[in-house]
């Protein structure tokens, strides 16, 4: 049948993966560093991926294509959810590195050279829990109770020198990268906000376009959770300055 469907200009595509995350039907994949429409019968033609593309590589076209298969999309979502749940079970039960832990704030450490006049204590970690990756953390972990939530892009801790003191201190920290993980965090963050007594939400992202996926996921999660809590977005430049 002839119908409206998306077209991806591979010359313009930067491989950021934001369109893949934005496509709720799962019609797109990243292949060899480029976004591709791999399941035409999953594309509903509504174009949720268009505004997510920072390079303007996606447009509509009318051509011969299989009809949109809503049943197949639904089945694919259910299968993916089951696989993700099994991964969570295996992580929580079998991998020591994913075991839930609440951490005590570190005390200031003295200099390795010993005490000296007019010296400063070394910085200390303000990470208050483990794990901290969005993909690994259980939705109902005990450390979420009454927590102030920080959702941060992986790179922010490297670009912004005082990340621990200015943003992580006193918060539960969740980190992720929508480009590297190639996943939409919205569903996971929605569940965390909905199932726990979260007091506030701070989103810290880099200025690069691919970090927009993390911000959108967190903001959309807040909307879908139905929670009304204080929230803010802080953008860090590549040279380590706060832009917002």
- Note the pLDDT of residue 156: 96
Higher per-residue confidence, 135 vs 173: 173
**Which tens digits make up the pLDDT trace of 94-105?**
555 567 777 766
Which residue, 39, 127, 114, is CA-closest to 76?
39
- Burial of 241 per CB tally in 10 Å (0-12, 13-18, 19+): exposed
Write down all domains in the chain, each with its CATH number in brackets: 2-68 (3.30.70.20), 100-104+124-236 (3.40.50)
Q: How, if at all, do strands 129-130 and 101-102 pair?
A: antiparallel
pLDDT value at position 120? 63
pLDDT of residue 160: 96
Beta strands 28-31 and 34-37, pairing class? antiparallel
Name the more confident of 128 and 92: 128
Band (188; pLDDT cuts 50, 70, 90): very high
pLDDT digits 0-9 by tens, 205-219: 999 988 999 999 999
Query: Which of the two residues, 218 and 182, has the higher pLDDT score?
Result: 218
Residue 1 pLDDT level (bands cut at 50, 70, 90) = confident
Confidence of residue 112 (pLDDT cuts 50, 70, 90): very low
Mean pLDDT value of segment 129-137? 92
Q: 78 or 199: whose pLDDT is higher?
A: 199
pLDDT of residue 111 exceeding 50, the answer is no
């Amino acid at each position: 049948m002839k119908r409206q469907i998306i077209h991806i200009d591979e010359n313009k595509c930067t491989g950021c993966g934001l369109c893949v995350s934005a496509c709720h039907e799962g019609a797109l994949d990243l292949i060899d560093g480029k976004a591709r429409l791999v399941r035409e019968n999953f594309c509903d033609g509504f174009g949720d991926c268009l505004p997510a593309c920072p390079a303007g590589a996606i447009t509509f076209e009318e051509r011969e294509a299989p009809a949109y298969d809503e049943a197949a999309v639904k089945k694919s979502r259910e299968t993916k959810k089951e696989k993700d749940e099994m991964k969570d079970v295996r992580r929580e039960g079998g991998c020591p590195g994913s075991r839930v832990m609440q951490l005590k704030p570190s005390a200031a450490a003295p200099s390795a050279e010993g005490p000296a006049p007019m010296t400063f204590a070394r910085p200390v970690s303000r990470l208050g829990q483990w794990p901290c990756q969005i993909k690994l953390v259980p939705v109902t972990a005990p450390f979420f109770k009454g927590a102030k939530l920080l959702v941060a892009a992986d790179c922010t801790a490297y670009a912004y020198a005082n990340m621990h003191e200015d943003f992580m201190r006193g918060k539960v920290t969740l980190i992720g990268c929508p480009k590297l993980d190639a996943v939409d965090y919205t569903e996971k963050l929605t569940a965390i906000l909905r199932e726990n007594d979260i007091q506030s939400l701070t989103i810290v992202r880099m200025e690069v376009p691919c970090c927009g996926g993390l911000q959108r996921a967190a903001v959309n999660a807040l909307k879908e959770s139905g929670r009304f809590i204080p929230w803010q977005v802080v953008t860090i430049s590549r040279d380590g300055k706060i832009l917002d």
